[in-house]
């Protein structure tokens, strides 16, 4: 995820495999978008790897430790979900917060590569890919180890 910058209600993830453009749902999820946007502007995501890639499901990044155990919100620690009935995991290229249960959002997020309705009401959808779905698919198709971590870092 080698860095992201936000342009109002959109963001561009600059990855080692290309750029991914995202529409952010600021009106529906203001705290989640603020967290993502401020982290992006401050360079928090610069050089951070996609640490979890599961073909047919999603690609995940946003952990400065690079192992799925790190990251925090801009407020320190975790923050509450902003689940909205109008924003579902009903299609590929949905951008959503990773968490370890209700109210445990930090900095990690994922982009789906298929509809994932079982994630509805559990993860905050805060954006959709508008351009660069081919880049997300390229990330999805990299070789991974037994722990779903890319063999070669994708940032």
Query: How would you write the chain as a 3-class SS string?
Result: CCCEEEECCEEEEEECCEEEEEEECCCCCHHHHHHHHHHHHCCCCCCCCCCEEECCCEEEECCCCCCCCCCCCCCCCCECCCCCCCCCCCCCCEEEECCCCCCCECCCEEEECCCCHHHCCCCCEEEEEEECHHHHHHHHCCCECCCCCECCCCC
Q: Domain of 36: which CATH number? A: 2.40.100.10
Whether 109 is a known active-site residue: answer: no
In a domain, 146, yes or no: no
Catalytic residue among 39, 51, 89, 123, which?
A: 123
Specify the number of domains making up the chain.
Answer: 1
Whether 99 is a known active-site residue: answer: yes
Domain residue limits at 68: 4-140
Whether 121 is a known active-site residue: answer: no
In a domain, 148, yes or no: no
Catalytic residue among 35, 99, 105, 108, which?
A: 99
In a domain, 154, yes or no: no
In a domain, 116, yes or no: yes
pTM of structure: 0.94
Whether 119 is a known active-site residue: answer: yes
Summarize pLDDT for 10-68 with one digit per residue, the tens. 999 999 999 999 999 999 999 999 999 999 999 999 999 999 999 999 999 999 999 99
Summarize pLDDT for 69-122 with one digit per residue, the tens. 999 999 999 999 999 999 999 999 999 999 999 999 999 999 999 999 999 999
């Amino acid at each position: 995820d080698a860095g992201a910058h936000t342009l109002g209600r959109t963001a561009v993830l600059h990855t080692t495999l290309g750029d991914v453009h995202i529409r952010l749902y600021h009106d529906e999820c203001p705290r989640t978008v603020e967290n993502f946007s401020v982290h992006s502007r401050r360079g928090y995501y610069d050089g951070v790897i996609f640490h979890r890639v599961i073909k047919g499901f999603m690609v995940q990044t946003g952990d400065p430790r690079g192992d799925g155990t790190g990251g925090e919100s801009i407020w320190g620690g975790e923050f509450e979900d902003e689940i909205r009935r109008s924003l579902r995991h009903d299609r590929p290229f949905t951008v959503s917060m990773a968490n370890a249960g209700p109210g445990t959002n930090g900095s990690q997020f994922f982009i789906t590569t298929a509809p994932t309705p079982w994630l509805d009401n559990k993860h905050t959808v805060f954006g959709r890919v508008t351009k660069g779905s081919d880049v997300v698919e390229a990330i999805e198709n990299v070789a991974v180890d037994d722990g779903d971590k890319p063999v070669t870092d994708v940032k």
